[in-house]
Amino acid sequence: MPASVDTTGLQTSFDVARVRADFPALHQRIYDGRPLVYLDNAATTQKPQVVIDRIRDFYARENANVHRGVHYLSQLASDAYDEARRLIAAFIGAPDPSQVIFTRGTTESINLVAATYGRQCVGPGDEIVLSAMEHHSNIVPWQILCEEKGAHLRVVPVDEQGVLDLEALEHMLGERTRLVAIAHVSNALGTVNPVREIIQMAHARGIPVLIDGAQAVQHLEVNVAELDCDFYCFSGHKMYGPTGIGILYGKAELLEAMPPYQGGGDMIERVTFERTTYNRLPYKFEAGTPHIAGAIGLGAAVTYLNGLDRAAIARYEDELLRYATERLQEVPGLRLIGTAPHKVSVLSFVLDGVHPYDAGTLLDQMGIAVRTGHHCAQPLMDRLGLSGTIRASLALYNTREEIDALVQALYRVVRLLR
């Protein structure tokens, strides 16, 4: 087995040891005392203690329903909930907090747009443009809509490196295109798509653009106003926040024109049996009791990230990805899947003669958490001629020592399974 690559040339001002101390889950030992090496961050990230504490404190001291309550706890809960929305709006550069809709996650955010904007604006013969690297959550809602409306999906191809064919995209945009829905970062490959260029290309033809940012906001500094996207979606649990909470950002004029997604409490202004009038933004799209603790926890995650040097994090994660890419290529028979020039966080690979599931199972027994399978991107796997890959995905708390542990474990996998 080759010796570890010298990492002394990796220069960063980011103190990963200090950050790791904030995440209690990273310090546990599993399977006969093996240290946990957590490399499944594209699926969900671990949570810093401040997020855990903030959720606990809400339930311990502030628990009440939000809005319209006149008592003390309801006022506390409402203030914390509304402040979380303001923090998140500022974090993504939204012009106004009312343009930030709380959802259950990226999946619901996309479904919301499909069920409202889509049903209102897409008709027979119309087209929705996606890419070949989309997550199922950015495919299936549009398929359902197209089946209902008699519309069509058009798919932008990707090359063997996992790079979008922008020339093909430009040719696809036409008079019948009603929306472009594209991932900012591929969850299966780590490719960072040129979304600014894509948005400009679409807007030149009057076509709105939805960006799936589930894999982007935790790695890239996102400003939706500067991007000029029409919709932007992401999930809390992939950016060190709670599960079950996510965001849909939309341009105000689009959100105002869209019908409600669900009916119920808080999304109404007045109800009679003859007619209901709807609440103002953002509440028009937030029927029923929201995930109050989740929203507050996501606000705490944003506050945590704001307290770090985001530029230093980006440099550190880029250096770590480069190091991991070099180390993995030392493993005999390992082939990286997704080698785009601009990528973040994700290392997908296959091992000759080894099924991804078998490799993942053995890695788990050695204390290393990775993801195996198609990663909810089956069309992409079909395009690449694969049933699935092994995916190691990085976060700001991962280390070069953990990459070394992964590589050592992969040598053992190769010895045992070939």
Give every CB contact of residue 198 below 8 A, 6+ residues apart in sequence: 166, 169, 180, 182, 209
Q: Which pLDDT belongs to residue 355?
A: 96
Give 284-332 as a DSSP string: GG--SS--HHHHHHHHHHHHHHHTS-HHHHHHHHHHHHHHHHHHHTTST
CATH 3.90.1150.10 segments of the chain: 16-43+309-417
Residue reference for tokens 């909470």? 245
Query: What stretch(es) of the chain map to CATH 3.40.640.10?
Result: 51-307
Cα–Cα dist 413/119, whole Å: 49
Helix, strand, coil shares of the chain, percent, nearest 5, are 40, 20, 40
Point out the residues that are catalytic: 376
Q: In Å, what is the CA distance from 246 to each residue of 146, 267, 353?
A: 25, 18, 39
Task: For the domain made up of 16-43+309-417, give the CATH fold.
Answer: Aspartate Aminotransferase, domain 1 (3.90.1150)
Cβ 410 vs Cβ 351: under 8 Å:
yes
Q: 231 in helix, strand or coil?
A: strand
Q: Cα torsion at 38, 44, 46, 52 (round to 10°)?
A: -160
SS3 13: coil
Report the relative pairing of strands 276-278 and 334-337 from DSSP bridges. Answer: unpaired
- What contacts 265, CB < 8 A, 6 or more positions away? 287, 288, 289
**225: three-class secondary structure by DSSP:** helix
User: Which residue's entry shows tokens 């899947």?
Assistant: 337
Q: Which CATH number is 51-307's, of 3.90.226.10, 3.40.50.1820, 3.40.640.10, 1.10.357.10?
A: 3.40.640.10
Q: CA-CA distance, 239 to 235, in Å (whole number)?
A: 7
Q: For residue 324, how far is the Cα from the chain centroid?
A: 21
User: What string of pLDDT tens digits covers the 418 residues of the chain?
Assistant: 333 333 334 444 799 999 999 999 999 999 999 999 999 999 999 999 999 999 999 999 999 999 988 999 999 999 999 999 999 999 999 999 999 999 999 999 999 999 999 999 999 999 999 999 999 999 999 999 999 999 999 999 999 999 999 999 999 999 999 999 999 999 999 999 999 999 999 999 999 999 999 999 999 999 999 999 999 999 999 999 999 999 999 999 999 999 999 898 888 888 889 888 888 999 999 999 999 999 999 999 999 999 999 999 999 999 999 999 999 999 999 999 999 999 999 999 999 999 999 999 999 999 999 999 999 999 999 999 999 999 999 999 999 999 999 999 999 999 999 7
Q: Global pTM?
A: 0.94
**Predicted local confidence at residue 271, as pLDDT:** 84
